[in-house]
Amino acid sequence: MTRPSAEPAKPVRLRCALYTRKSSEEGLDQAFNSLHAQREACEAYVASQAGEGWRALPMAYDDGGFSGGSMERPALRQLLADIAAGKVDVVVVYKIDRLTRSLADFARIVELFDTHKVSFVSVTQAFNTTTSMGRLTLNVLLSFAQFEREVTGERIRDKIAASRAKGMWMGGTLPLGYDPPTDAATRALVVNEAEAATVRLMFTTYLELGSVHALQRWLADSGIVSKARTTRAGRTTGGLPFSRGALFHLLRNRTYLGMIVHKDKVLPGIHPAIVEPGMFDAVQARLDGNARRHAARPNRVATAALIGRVFDADGAPMSPTFSHGARGQVYRYYVSAPLQQGVRPNRADDPTDAVRRVPAVVLEARLAETMRRLLPRVADPLGDIVRVEIYPASVQLSLPIALLPGIRSRLGAGEIVAPDAADPARLRLELPVRLRLRGGRTIIARPDGTAPTASRCDPVLIGALRKAHALLAPSPDGLPTIATVPTTAYARRLIRIAFLAPDLQAALLDGRQPAGLTLDRLIRAPLPCSWAEQAELFSA
């Protein structure tokens, strides 16, 4: 009797990601463009391998208008993320230079492919990445691709330099006051009369106000915004209030004198000027004078130890800034970039009550105190901090992963440390720090509400306590009693301070009062008779 033959094994199903790229945006609006052609070729190749179990994923990894010399491409980043998540088995491209034109980037990509057992196929170039000869072939092809990209870039740069030497506009951010060239032969900017009038008004107003900050506020109050533009891909840019940096650039822009600026050269242009030379020179003199006066002042921003490393809960950078008090005191803060630009979030759209402004000195002291405890042998307690993220209920730090063993053994109550899921080279340290807004100020406190460092004596609170006791007189039995009936509502509220718990009064005199305790809060809050309830009320 013959045995039945064994059934052939079914091929393993391989999920194929099809990646396409086009360097420029030209032609992307067509019904059938280069991306579609690349994808059809890749789909046909995958279909030819159907017997081996190949199946094309429905996800379209298309990068239109992105150079192959950089990995900052949305579809490529999504592809690499899906590979890391185990969703892809084979990457299929039309040509290898569609994936990258950089040898260094290709080495990183292939390393990721090898780590996750992902194969790589080029439809028009036959090679196998699993062999040394295949890798050599890839490196040779990439070397030529990178050489071609660099030679093309040099040729384009030389053409742009020669054209600008003739006064032509060769692209870039279009200045307010001009429209794009309409004559392809001369490539001369066209004056937009309505915008040109706005530019001249901005120059004149700056001379009247004497400050870019004042000009920025005036433009915001007048409803004048930056120029809105629509790219070939349909994205809209501009149309927002002017930032200080944009205004400095506008007031320095020699394009308004009929000039063309190319790198460090200023060349005669063929487009009309819209600002008189006398007006332009007067504005430059005022800008230079303000810059000299600003340079002579102490550099308060340079003292910010965490500059460039602080971000709010939305990921917006928080830049150092400062203000002056009534008695000449200088207060330093870290303020979110949108808030510095005058953009205040709608509370209905911001239910998390994200912190947009924090006192720099207190934040730096709190983090330095924590880092000295966690890393006692480090000379600069803030030096290892890569990133600081500010949340209402916590402050989260990004640190090098090598510090994890030493930190883990010294954690305090409520502190959490773990490897960063988004970056394997970093760890994330969460500190249970509460940030609260009181009296127009953001208060940083420990979970128990106490200040991280000793508070300075508040002369307002001490003076109010003395006035409250002055309203009392000793009775025959030695107990305090009201000397005269207070005649004003303020005096009647003030006298209650004299009946605060003794420990709380001593803290006021020594400058150890709870964080955020103000005179207004003391005289307006309902005062419990129980000293324990008072301590709980004013520490919350």
pLDDT digits (tens, 9 = 90+) for 359-397: 888 888 889 888 988 988 888 889 899 999 988 878 999
User: pLDDT band at 429, cuts 50/70/90?
Assistant: very high
Q: Which of 30-34, 67-71, 471-475 comes out lowest in average pLDDT? A: 471-475
- Mean of the pLDDT values across residues 225-245? 71
**Predicted local distance difference test score (pLDDT) of residue 110:** 77
User: pLDDT band at 202, cuts 50/70/90?
Assistant: very high
**Predicted local distance difference test score (pLDDT) of residue 281:** 92
Mean pLDDT of the chain: 79
- Mean of the pLDDT values across residues 178-184? 82
Backbone conformation region of residue 521, classed left if phi is above 0, alpha if psi is from -120 to 50, else beta: alpha
For strand 472-474 and strand 236-237, is the pairing parallel, antiparallel, or unpaired? Answer: unpaired
User: pLDDT band at 131, cuts 50/70/90?
Assistant: low
**Predicted local distance difference test score (pLDDT) of residue 437:** 52
Scored b (16 or more CB within 10 A) or e, 415-443 reads bebeebeeeeebbbbbbebbbbeeeeebb
Of 191, 148, 152, 151, nearest in space to 169 by CA: 191
SS3 437: strand
- Mean of the pLDDT values across residues 322-346? 72
CA distance 256 to 283: 13
**Predicted local distance difference test score (pLDDT) of residue 230:** 64
Give Dmax over CA atoms of the chain in angstroms. Answer: 124
Q: What is the DSSP track for 364-430?
A: HHHHHHHHHHH-TT-SSTTTT--EEEE-SS-EEEEEEGGGHHHHHTT--TT-EEEE-TT-TTEEEEE
Of 245, 251, 269, 14, nearest in space to 119 by CA: 14
User: pLDDT band at 27, cuts 50/70/90?
Assistant: confident
**Residue 235 Cα to chain centre, angstroms:** 21
CA distance 458 to 466: 13
For strand 190-191 and strand 178-179, is the pairing parallel, antiparallel, or unpaired? Answer: antiparallel
CA distance 412 to 375: 13
DSSP element (H, E) containing 431: strand 426-431
- pLDDT at residue 268 greater than cutoff 50: yes
- pLDDT at residue 325 greater than cutoff 90: no
**Predicted local distance difference test score (pLDDT) of residue 453:** 46
CA distance 258 to 167: 9
- pLDDT at residue 343 greater than cutoff 70: no
**Predicted local distance difference test score (pLDDT) of residue 259:** 84
- Tell me the per-residue pLDDT of 442-471, one tens digit each, with 9 for 90 and over: 555 554 444 444 445 777 788 888 888 877
SS3 content of the chain, % helix, strand, coil (to 5): 40, 20, 40
User: pLDDT band at 62, cuts 50/70/90?
Assistant: very high
**Predicted local distance difference test score (pLDDT) of residue 283:** 92
- pLDDT at residue 518 greater than cutoff 80: no
For strand 426-431 and strand 395-400, is the pairing parallel, antiparallel, or unpaired? Answer: antiparallel
Q: Which residue has the higher pLDDT, 512 or 290?
A: 290
- pLDDT at residue 72 greater than cutoff 80: yes
User: pLDDT band at 111, cuts 50/70/90?
Assistant: confident
**Predicted local distance difference test score (pLDDT) of residue 345:** 55
Q: Which residue has the higher pLDDT, 232 or 218?
A: 218
**Predicted local distance difference test score (pLDDT) of residue 200:** 93
**Predicted local distance difference test score (pLDDT) of residue 449:** 46
Share of the chain above pLDDT 90, in %: 16
- Tell me the per-residue pLDDT of 481-510, one tens digit each, with 9 for 90 and over: 565 556 677 777 788 888 888 888 888 887
CA distance 320 to 336: 9
User: pLDDT band at 533, cuts 50/70/90?
Assistant: confident
This prediction's pTM: 0.42
**Predicted local distance difference test score (pLDDT) of residue 455:** 46
- pLDDT at residue 348 greater than cutoff 60: no
Backbone conformation region of residue 516, classed left if phi is above 0, alpha if psi is from -120 to 50, else beta: left
- pLDDT at residue 321 greater than cutoff 80: yes
SS3 164: helix
In the chain, the domains with their CATH numbers are 14-149 (3.40.50.1390), 178-296 (3.90.1750.20), 310-437 (no CATH), 454-539 (no CATH)
Residue type at 51? G
**Predicted local distance difference test score (pLDDT) of residue 479:** 54
User: pLDDT band at 251, cuts 50/70/90?
Assistant: very high
Contact in structure between 396 and 430 (CB atoms under 8 Å): yes
Question: Look-up: residue for tokens 């009647």?
Answer: 492
User: pLDDT band at 166, cuts 50/70/90?
Assistant: low
Of 405, 517, 502, 534, nearest in space to 456 by CA: 517
